[in-house]
Chains A and B, each alone.
Chain A
């Protein structure tokens, strides 16, 4: 079976995030007051072949821990869904 995997990589608390800080500082000048806690991370998407969702998850978590993130400075959330299924809770149907 094929699964779609989405890895959301974030800097851990206390790790310098110059992109997030710069965006946050720019917002008031654009008229967006009251916006705080801006952080910039990255998203990695791929598909993976696995017998079932549990195997797809465990292999993706492995890949994430050993390569996609550096655990000294980053955290990540891994989302696995069967290919073709919606990832955002919507029906996936376009009107």
Chain B
């Protein structure tokens, strides 16, 4: 049976079908999960996709954190289940406390929608287990609030614990230490601002995201 990946839909989410298409292209079974439901319907992995959950009102992810589905995701993550937050999904996971730090507005004051090159820094996470450390992946970004920040103590921990899984080769948004993606202590929850689900086919300009989405299928 194909690995099932639940893709969470909040009011304002807009990347869910891209995520489902990427999962299915790689042989998985992508299923939409409504944020107001309280269980994960038995899926093997979870993607919190991009968009503007709850209109990004107050702060990106601030209101999404209170959706019933987030309680189920927190329990799934605590049991070691693989969870990936992409773009707005990364913001949701930081607001929910499943990942450290926060995403502030881009340093260059611009909304950025462009290809970016990522360097794989750790292959020990649910999103990077198929990837080779040091390899570079072309994956697009599409955000205004993607400038990762955390306090100095947390940054030192992330480095010491090898939890910075992806870095920008040419930092586009001012993120501290060029961070593009981080994982939790258990390494099963990963957040990143770039969109690997939009880079799973050469027709889209890059298929480099497939190694990341494929890693999630392996981790499930």
Contacts and interface: CB of A to CB of B under 8 A. Distances in A.
Nearest to A67: B62
A21 B102 contact: no
B107 to A, nearest CB: 5
Contacts of B62: 67, 70
Contacts of A72: 94, 101-102, 149-151
A38 B150 CA distance: 24
Contacts of A16: 104-107, 109, 147, 174
Interface string B102-127: 10111101000000000000000000
A92 B104 CA distance: 38
Contacts, number: 32
Interface residues of A, number: 12
B95 interface: yes
Contact of A21 (B94, B104, B109, B150): B109
Contacts of A22: 109
Nearest to A71: B102
B59 interface: yes
Interface of A: 11, 15-18, 21-22, 67-68, 70, 72-73
Interface residues of B, number: 17
B149 A18 contact: no
A70 B102 contact: yes
A22 to B, nearest CB: 7
* Residues of B contacting A: mostly: loop
B203 interface: no
Contacts of A17: 105
A18 B106 contact: yes
Nearest to A21: B109
Contacts of B1: none
A73 B149 contact: yes
A80 to B, nearest CB: 20
B2 interface: no
Contacts of A68: 58
Contact of A15 (B58, B106, B109, B149): B149
A85 B59 CA distance: 30
Given A16-B106, A16-B107, 11 more contacts: A15-B149, A16-B174, A67-B62, A70-B59, A70-B62, A70-B95, A70-B102, A72-B94, A72-B102, A73-B102, A73-B104
